[in-house]
Chain A
Amino acid sequence: MEHRAYSEHGLSGKKRSNLPSRPVFSNQWGSLEELANNPEFRKWPDPEFSTGASEFVDPLARREFMRLMGASLALMAASGCHRPPQQKIVPYVEQPELLVPGRPLFFATAMPFNGSATGILVQSNEGRPTKIEGNPSHPLSLGATSIFEQAAILTLCDPDRSRTIIHEGQIETWESFLSAWLPEQDRQLSQGGRTLRFLIDSVTSPTLVWQIGQLQKRYPGAKWYQWEPISQATIIEGYRSILGRPAQPQYRLAEADVIVAFDSDFLFDSPFRLINTRAFAGRRNYQRPDFSSPNRLFVAEPSPTITGSMAELRLPIAARQIGLLVQLLANRLGVGDPGPKVDDPQAKAWIDACVTELQAARGRSVVLAGFRQSPLIHRWIHAINVSLGNVGRTITYREVPAVVVPQPFGGIAQLAQELDSGRAETIILLGGNPAFDTPVDLEFQKRLSRSHFSLHLSLYYDETSAACQWHIPENHFLESWSDSTASDGSTGIIQPLIAPLYGGHSRHELLALFLGQISVQDYDIVRDYWRSHGQWDDFEKQWRKALNDGILAVNLAQTAEIAWSAEAPPATSDAPNENQSIELSFHPDPTLWDGRLANNGWLQELPKPFTRITWDNPALVSPSLAKELRLVNGDVIEIQSGSSRAEIPVWILPGQAKRTISVYLGGGRTRAGRVGNGVGFNTYQLRNYDFLWFAPRVEVRKTDTRAQLVSTQLHHAMQGREPVRTRTYAEFIHQEIPTTEVVENPALDETLYNFRKMLTAEHQWGMVINLNSCIGCNACVVACQSENNIPVVGKDQVWRGREMHWIRVDRYYEGDPDAPNLYHQPVPCMHCETAPCELVCPVEATLHSAEGLNQQVYNRCIGTRYCSNNCPYKVRRFNFLQFADTKTPSLQLGWNPQVTVRSRGVMEKCTYCVQRIRAVEFDAERGNRRIKDGEIIPACAQVCPAEAITFGDINDQNSLVAQLKANRLNYGLLEELNTRPRTTYLAKVVDVGHATVNPKQGQE
């Protein structure tokens, strides 16, 4: 089911035919406010609703689940863990009387992640959350999500999550924990909490801040520390040094003609990733009739990122030289003293291009740097933006709400010292995994054992839990009540979708315990906070509205007034042009982030951009460095950085800066769970406190060993086949060359077998994928996996070429291996009108529907695999073994009940989310209405932050998809084979940065 359903039914079951139609491509969620005030809506009987959504309704599944737990250690503790659901939660729009089996409901909540939060809508099937979509009314989502939100469902269902309280390796009960804690509490109370220390990963919850404030009153001597291995701390610190208050820039990329990014993957590793992508890609909608001019992106970075892949001009450069480059740009734009010169001709050309473009786009440009660069660099960036007149136009500054300010500097090191000196006798760790992910030279794990009392609240019994005396299982955010403030200040209530599967505890409950409130539930805590702090006239009404909308009217982040000074900051101390040493650079893992998601099979198996590697995090080296060190893919090297040393295999990555090695953080977990243990390499071993993001000088030595690395795409050249077609901007503007190439296909009637006769239905479904918008973020892949119950197969099976993704994002390189052009191409099933797969199936298990869908009938399939051989796109996926895990009850919770779980021996592939099509078709038929354009959205299109995927009826000439197919950029992949694909692409327009033409002229 798609989220359109609630805009239909939410209003009124009686007046369905008079529904306002949803504007095409609109991000608005117009009817919500109206809805919340609808008297009918307010009449919802509370008890009826309160049980429906939060109950784990299937008693059979629950019994099965308990049986499984009996086999493991959990059973002993389980008896005391299950709480009956008691609290009211409110669906987004659907009325409770529509709570019928088979019809999913959607609930608004928010997912806290790495110091920010994304508003989401969670699909609930009879009490089981199965799919996450973006909340269109949440300003950081706008309806889209990233891979992390998509994968949260699997983490919720993870059978390896911690299920019980553990003390020194032994299972314990809550009561025995209390009997251990209460004396400790008395001891701390008696000394005012002098040796009580808290470490938390990130705080986004206003309620939690309130509780922390109360705790500080109760334990005046206690100290709070915060640690995230990956955070925006450097950026915030940079702006604090200018403003005096912590602030963070927020970009209006939609208004920026020119974007210059220094070591910034702002389309991926920023909390604003989704809206950045939306705005950025929105400026590349060449197909729109009102398209005026594209933005131009210039990126300088050490290792290719998806942001870099979108750049008109990308400069591979070591991270340590970025500071120099920033100053050079500043100097060229008239900020600061003329600094040192750069010899590298490539860098020079890049700077020249940036200067030219920026000067032509004063007030309509953005210069930004990533969090891997020091606060000083951010001061330089600010000076540049001020001098360009961008501040206030394309850049605003948001004061970071006190609750989310990370402490980058000093915090963790000070805590390590306190642990060492015994000043931190009692340490409470809330979330996070500092024993694994703190800088190696802090020896945090070792020092943790010196405390008198240590407690770790976390989702998994992880490395830190094992190093602590007590471990308490934490509730997943889909199981608990809370609230969260996103980086832009928008705040929403987090409501549970299901009762805690494993009987854990939330942070709120634990802190309440420390406050002396025993057996208080998070629901009451969160409500108490908002009752006392919400300043709401009618609490119940506002509360329900907040739950309904997923976002509150208040914004906790004030727009920061900033000093408009373009004064040059002090010069950075980087050694100029130091090219000889090899730099080691740390990056967030593109799928596992900082390692916390290591037990998520969807993310482990998700091919990382460019390398397409799954289940590993090798060291990325440039082709020239590989040549110098005589390395081939899979060779293990030893890296020595200071006193730390690690062995890690290499992968040669075109586009990597020459004398740099990049590693992703987060591999090599030892206590992640069955999925993540021992996968990849622990690169935190190389991360020293002084060089959090890059170590300018490391020693590298090739060893004799090799490691098996598994990539899903072994070939990166297009081999003259032009799967990705490109047109230069000049060609596009002057319409010199028709982008839709004339392909010598036979005429439609030149066939003995007229397929057109079969396509009799009113609607003919088709899809267009815009290669100008696609940034290669992989969100569609995980969304598809979640929607369509696609199994995870594991490293060995991926190595054998058996990954099951129905949509894949191909990448191609073109040009110089050290600075190539990078292309992404999402490839789902093409739903060819003359599908080669169909006529070779001996049992007609794959056939065409009257609506033009290429269907796969699992029940009929006997697994000859002939269809896959004959598919030129190789989008078909085969269950070579029993890949779907039908034995683990908790994993069954997350399955989409609308989609068959395939058994071994059958072929499967993209269906255009036929279950969503059918749901809308049935609904339209019942309502005796036409299906509106854009009403059916496949999972891949719905999740896409770039809006690169458009689906609809190509028979309807007014539909967006039909208009896109009529565009001259439209082409079919391998259409010369006469497959007549229903999925087509919009050719990528390149060389925009080099175009000197005035776009306005060209359009005339």
Chain B
Amino acid sequence: MLNLKSVGAEPTGPSTDPAEGLLNPAETFESVSAKIGGIVLERKHPPFWWISFGIAFLLLMGLLYGITILFAYGVGIWGINIPVAWGFAIVNFVWWIGIGHAGTLISAILLLLLQKWRNSINRLAEAMTLFAVGCAGMFPLLHLGRPWAFYWILPYPNTMGLWPQFRSALVWDVFAVGTYFTVSLLFWYTGLVPDLSTMRDRAKTRFSQIIFGILSLGWRGSAIHWKNYQTVYLILAGLSTPLVLSVHSVVSFDFSTAIVPGWHTTIFPPYFVAGAVYSGFAMVLNILIPVRYFYRLDELVTPRHLNCMANVMLTTGLMVVYGYIMETFTSWYSGDIFEQYQVINRTIGPYGPIYWALILFNVLIPQLLWSKRIRTNPVSLFLVALSVNLGMWLERFVIVIVSLHRDFLPSSWGIFAPTGWDWLILSGSLGLFCSLIFLFIRFLPLISIFEVREIIASRTEGAA
């Protein structure tokens, strides 16, 4: 079995058993496989699944309708204008990409840091990452004035002899997001292979056996397989780790390389990454907590998991708060009237209430996480995570729209008001995301079976 000690790493963390509280001690190899595999194979889906999936699917249909109208008439159906040429599409893009950070962080960085608590949640987090990045990736295309020409942004040989303009951060975005999506997909799929074979072996119908058989790529669980698997998984983890930091850094370049007051600041890359992890963990919690409740996975996803994730949220949240403070400070310290006005306008301008709502949801409410009772109570933690997700969306709104609506020349200042289409496409992207999550729950093991078994194994070894 996978034993991280074999790569020479020493376990870190508290001296007590790092696996304590991560699993009900009564769980066995068989019970874990049955519990997780059963969700897919035995098709006993609670009404929760049907209702939630139904709602998500309706929203998804709304998205398709919205996109159809968008492509037929153009981005003018949104509220964007001159000066606010970027609107919800970019807000949503940055928000979703941020959410897409948790999976890789949990899977790769925590793997390298030997945080065993990740084992119960990494699969779902990775899937969430993929879907979030997928939702994010959709927005730049929808955002284009002429979406049918989107591929011009890619460097491909063409008869016009034209290349993308590599000085533009948008081109970097394509590479950053594209790489991230690819590596995340590989990482997720590689991690799925042993479990797919378990599913194949446990499947009762011929159809499932064939499908899972194909997907498991001939995995037989031999020692060679495990050795190769381990090597590949660690390499991918190593590749993913810098990507976690680079993607949102590059996304932040979309703003920080521009000269717009409120965008043009060096603090953006770390501040964006922290914010991304912050919202990513919030989204994992927002999904995990209901799933855990409705699928009765309390034994696999324990209060300790919640506590760990809440701690990460609290930490990254504080980094984000630091970002807010420094942004304000440097605006004042710069002596630049445009930067200074930007802060004034954010706080007391026409969008002032949105800024203060952001402070409430993103700064004040998450401070509840200092309390362990809040951290380990699924309901309160769910609500705090919800507040963070909302807050992070508002933060992107403030960065993108509030910065643009009043820039240099007072004569060109404007205002942005979202239209129904803006909201439809935002809610539709949530619908797409949730639909994918629910289909994932329905068709693939949502918790890594073999990695949970690993915890059991390590405990057995430790006991022995």
Contact = CB atoms under 8 A, between A and B. Distances in A.
A840 B149 contact: no
A930 interface: no
B113 interface: no
B409 to A, nearest CB: 6
A905 B408 contact: no
Name which of A797, A843, A877 has the most chain B CB atoms within 10 A of its CB. A843
Contact of A864 (B79, B81, B170): B170
Interface string A835-870: 010011111100000000000000011111110111
B373 interface: no
Nearest to A840: B168
Nearest to B170: A842
B337 A720 contact: yes
B46 interface: no
A874 interface: yes
Contacts of A797: 76
A872 B81 contact: no
A839 B82 contact: no
A880 B84 contact: no
A865 B85 contact: yes
Contacts of B164: 842-844
16 contacts: A801-B83, A802-B81, A802-B82, A825-B411, A839-B165, A840-B168, A840-B257, A844-B162, A844-B164, A866-B170, A868-B82, A869-B83, A880-B80, A881-B74, A882-B74, A974-B409
Contacts of A860: 152, 162
Interface string B408-420: 1111111100000
Interface stretch (A164-172, A243-251, A710-718): A710-718
Interface in A868-906: 868-870, 872-874, 876-882, 904-906
A361 to B, nearest CB: 36
Contacts of B415: 714, 801
Interface string A763-806: 00000000000000000000000000000000001001110000
Interface string A690-722: 000000000000000000000001111111110
Contacts of B207: none
A973 B412 CA distance: 13
* Interface footprint category on A: 35 or more
A723 interface: yes
Nearest to B80: A880
Nearest to A803: B82
Interface stretch (B138-146, B282-290, B320-328): B138-146
Interface of A: 713-721, 723, 797, 800-802, 808, 810-812, 825, 827, 836, 839-844, 860-866, 868-870, 872-874, 876-882, 904-907, 973-974, 977
A35 B37 CA distance: 96
A864 B260 contact: no
Nearest 6 CB-CB pairings of A with B: A863-B145, A905-B145, A801-B81, A880-B76, A881-B76, A874-B412
A812 B82 CA distance: 19
Given A839-B168, A904-B76, 20 more contacts: A716-B410, A719-B410, A802-B76, A810-B412, A812-B411, A841-B168, A842-B165, A844-B162, A861-B146, A865-B80, A872-B407, A872-B409, A879-B74, A880-B74, A880-B81, A881-B76, A881-B77, A882-B74, A904-B146, A905-B145
A834 to B, nearest CB: 10
Contacts of A841: 165, 168
A974 B408 contact: yes
B258 A810 contact: no
A864 B82 contact: no
B145 A879 contact: yes
A865 B174 CA distance: 16
B82 A870 contact: no
Contacts of A718: 410
A862 B150 contact: yes
Nearest to A808: B411
Nearest to A906: B145
A866 B145 contact: no
Nearest to B140: A864
Contact of B85 (A836, A839, A869, A872): A869
Contacts of A906: 145-146
Interface in B75-125: 75-77, 79-86
Contacts of A904: 74, 76, 145-146
* Interface footprint category on B: 35 or more
A873 B170 contact: no
Given A836-B258, A839-B165, A800 B152 contact: no
B368 interface: no
B153 interface: yes
B73 A881 contact: yes
A720 B409 CA distance: 10
Name which of A714, A808, A906 has the most chain B CB atoms within 10 A of its CB. A714
Nearest to A836: B259
Nearest to A839: B167
B142 to A, nearest CB: 11
B79 A800 contact: yes
A870 B165 CA distance: 16
Nearest to B84: A801
B169 interface: yes
A863 B85 CA distance: 10
B300 interface: no
B130 interface: no
B152 A862 contact: yes
B312 interface: no
B262 to A, nearest CB: 11
A868 B407 CA distance: 11
Contacts of B168: 839-842, 866
A906 B165 CA distance: 17
Contacts of B258: 836, 840, 866, 869-870
B404 to A, nearest CB: 6
A139 to B, nearest CB: 36
A811 B153 CA distance: 39
Contacts of A717: 410
Contacts of B150: 862
B171 interface: yes
A863 B146 contact: yes
Nearest to B263: A869
B82 A878 contact: yes
A904 B170 CA distance: 21
Given A863-B145, A864-B170, A977 B85 contact: no
Nearest to A903: B146
A998 B169 CA distance: 57
A62 B152 CA distance: 38
Contacts of A721: 337-338, 408-410
Contacts of A905: 74-75, 144-146
B414 A863 contact: no
A889 B256 CA distance: 46
Contacts of B73: 881-882
Contacts of A874: 82-83, 407-409, 412
B351 interface: no
Contacts of B86: 865-866, 869
Contacts of B146: 861-863, 904-906
Contact of A876 (B82, B163, B169): B82
A442 to B, nearest CB: 43
Contacts of A878: 82, 85, 145
A879 B152 CA distance: 19
Contacts of A977: 259, 408
B226 interface: no
Contacts of B414: 714, 801
Nearest to B174: A842
A445 B364 CA distance: 68
B358 to A, nearest CB: 21
A827 B85 CA distance: 19
Contact of A843 (B75, B152, B257, B410): B152
A904 B147 CA distance: 11
B341 interface: yes
Nearest to A720: B337
Contact of A870 (B163, B260, B410, B411): B260
